[in-house]
Amino acid sequence: MRTCLRGRLWRTVRTFGASAGEEGIYDGPSPRVAQLADEIAGLSLLEASDLAELLKKKLKLDDAPPMMGFGGPAMAGMPAMASPGSGDAKPEEAKEEKAAFDVRLESFEAANKIKIIKEVRAVTELGLKEAKELVEKTPTVIKAGMIKEEAEALKKKLEELGGKIVLE
């Protein structure tokens, strides 16, 4: 191992591919790899797609999407995109049932404003002033990210009090 100065940081670097006794400093990709990268970057989308298919065949890779693509952990929860050749997917199968719902107060009866504010205050754990401001800026989301049963129960309760509720 050798230490080298890059910028202001000292770091220890071991060259990949060096045998047990050989050590060195990694100075970036080889000229051949850099040339390949330039050529690939210059391809059109159609040519890049053809290249990807050819590499899949040559390397004997399956068409399964990677677990974590370019997006990393932030993209892991997003649904996988369909490949261009998979036109047989049905829209009914693609729809997943929502797991989290937002309860939106669209309007309410003026006579029941105080009851609505009290219920919103109880559900959101807001203070009286904050709950009143939330109700007064209707239409607004009262509570976000609720499971279906809780959202429906809150919707029923607020509708009984005279509010018009929408689950999103």
Q: CA of 80: how far to CAs of 69, 83, 94, 103, in Å? A: 10, 9, 10, 28
Tens digits of per-residue pLDDT, 112-154? 889 989 988 988 888 899 989 988 988 888 888 888 888 889 8
Q: What angle do CA 157, 163, 168 make, to 5 degrees?
A: 80
Confidence tier at 7 by pLDDT (50, 70, 90):
very low
Tens digits of per-residue pLDDT, 51-109? 888 888 888 887 665 554 445 454 455 555 554 555 555 555 545 677 788 889 898 88
Distance (Å, whole) CA 3 – CA 76: 37
Given a cut of 70, whether residue 24 has pLDDT beyond it is no
Q: What's the pLDDT at 95?
A: 55
Buried b / exposed e over 141-166, threshold 16 CB at 10 Å, is: ebbeebeeeebeebbeebeebebebe
Q: Which residue has the higher pLDDT, 75 or 45?
A: 45
Q: Residue 85 corresponds to which amino acid? A: G
Q: What's the pLDDT at 81?
A: 52
Q: Is 47 exposed, middle or buried (0-12, 13-18, 19+ CB in 10 A)?
A: exposed
Given a cut of 50, whether residue 14 has pLDDT beyond it is no
Q: What's the pLDDT at 82?
A: 52
Q: What's the pLDDT at 48?
A: 83
94 neighbors 152 (Cβ within 8 angstroms): no
Query: Pseudo-torsion of CA 15, 19, 21, 23, nearest 10°?
Result: -10
For the segment 18-32, the average pLDDT, to the nearest whole number, is 67
Distance (Å, whole) CA 154 – CA 162: 12
